[in-house]
Structure formats: C-alpha cells, structure tokens
Amino acid sequence: MPNPQPLSPIESSKSSGVLVQDGSRFRIKFYLLWTWWHLCLLVVPRSSSARFHLGNAYAAQGMEEQAIKNWKRCVEREPGHAKAWHNLAALYMQKERWSEAIHAFAQLRRLHPAQAEHAFHHGRCLEEAGQVSEALQAYEQALEQAPQQLEWRYAVAKSLLRHKRLKEAAEHLRHIVAVREDHVGAYEHLGKIYLALKKYEAAERMFQKALAHAEHPDPLYYVLGMVAERRGQAEEACAYYERITASNLVPEARKRLEAIRQEQAKAKTEQMQG
C-alpha cells in the first residue's frame, strides 16, 4: 500500500488558491492578483495577509522560491499565521528541505498541538533528516491523537522495521490486522518478522492470510517457499517456487528449486551408498 501522501499547500481563497493552472487566462489572472496584492502592500506595507496571498499567487504560477520568500515574510510579521507555516511546511517537504520543514512543522505543532497530521508529517521529516528517536516520538504522538489512522500506523510500523525494532513494529501491525483483516501489507510484514525470529508456524500463518487477499501473490509464494524450506518441507517449498511467474522473482525461485533438488540428489546418493 502507498505511503501517506505529504501535505498539500492550503488554498487561501477561491481567487488566489495555490493550484497550478495553465493557459493565458490564468496568466492574466496571476498578473491581476500580483498587482492587487502589491498595491495592498503599498498601502499597508506590514500586511501579513497580503504577503500570504501574494505567496499563494506565486506558488500557483510555479514560482516556488518567490512563494517561500513571501510566506516567510508573512510569518516574520505574524508568527501565529498557521496557514503560512502550513504552506511553508508543505513546500519544504515537497522539495526535501528537511531542516526547514522540521522548523515549520514545529511551529505548526506549537500553534495547533492537537493536530495529529502535523505531528505525523513532522515525524516523517525528522526521520528523513536522520533524527530517528525524535521522529518515532512524533509518530507516537500522532497515533495517540488519531488512532484510527491505519495507514499512518502502517507507515510507522515500516519505519520501525527499517530501524530493526521488530517488537514495536509487530504491535502496530497486529493492531492493523485486528481492525482490517484484508490488509495484505500488514500480514506480510508480520510474517517477515516471525520468519526473522524463526517462528515458522506463525510466519506461515501470516503469509497465508496475506495470500488470501493479495492481488499479486508471487512475492508471497516466494516467502512461503522459504518458510517451507526452513521447516524441512522440501516438496511444499518446490510447489510454491514453481507457482512463481513474476519476471523479477523467477530467477531467484529457480535458484531455490535447483538448490533443493541438488540437496535431494545428494541425500539420495548418500542413502544409496549407506
């Protein structure tokens, strides 16, 4: 399943939203807005609202650095302007400017501490910046505020797996499958955790549950073959490997089949000699 999507910039109004449009009509609209907000700034030079709307007009035209410049000037004049902080956070995140995104999300969370979305995306930026402990703390806070967000929980579980925190990842994955019995990814990752822990029966059970709902079963055939091998069930392993048709897995499946057959031939030879 896909990772949760990053924040989208807020639209300031119907007349100066940040959605990019093409064509001469929109260019005319942009210049009208640009002129209007600049006139507002001439009349009220310290208007944070005018700066915010001007930033949105630039963003709509794809002029991102000019948008950032105006949103930054907006929050310099009005540190509590949450929409400007939100737009900065979203654009910094999109451009992978992690340290600046972290700062913007920190300001958003200060302004709106109960907003779980901000905590979650703050965590993503912290993780990308290599601040793993802080990221996991932000993730947990997001899930405390929004426990129903299963895709966030799934993303957190995968993050924990990347950092070898299997027990914590398993807890989140079990929570997911308790709510959604058709969550293929959660079952598959649980199976891989049990496989790593050498709990082969539990691993097979999780992979079979994933297989029952999978649109693309070949990766599950492969791991089920691995489980069968670990359990000494050579024929069952071969049966799984032989079902695989995906081009990226066929070479590995053939290697496993060849290795199993060589082991079987070796065992048969030793038996005959004995």
Mean pLDDT of the chain: 87
Q: Is the pLDDT of residue 6 over 90?
A: no
pLDDT for 15: 38
Q: Is the pLDDT of residue 27 over 70?
A: no
* 186, HSE (Cβ side, Cα atoms, 13 Å): 22
Task: Give me the mean pLDDT over the 28-54 stretch.
Answer: 68
Sign for the CA dihedral angle at 139, 144, 146, 152 comes to positive
pLDDT for 34: 61
pLDDT for 62: 86
Domain ranges of the chain: 1-143
Q: Is the pLDDT of residue 1 over 60?
A: no
Environment class of residue 51 by beta-carbon count within 10 Å: exposed (0-12), middle (13-18) or buried (19+)? buried
State pLDDT tens for residues 90-108.
Answer: 999 999 999 999 999 999 9
State pLDDT tens for residues 82-91.
Answer: 999 999 999 9
% of the chain at pLDDT higher than 70: 82
State pLDDT tens for residues 117-164.
Answer: 999 999 999 999 999 999 999 999 999 999 999 999 999 999 999 999
Q: Which amino acid is at 182?
A: D
pLDDT for 268: 84
CATH class of 1-143: mainly alpha
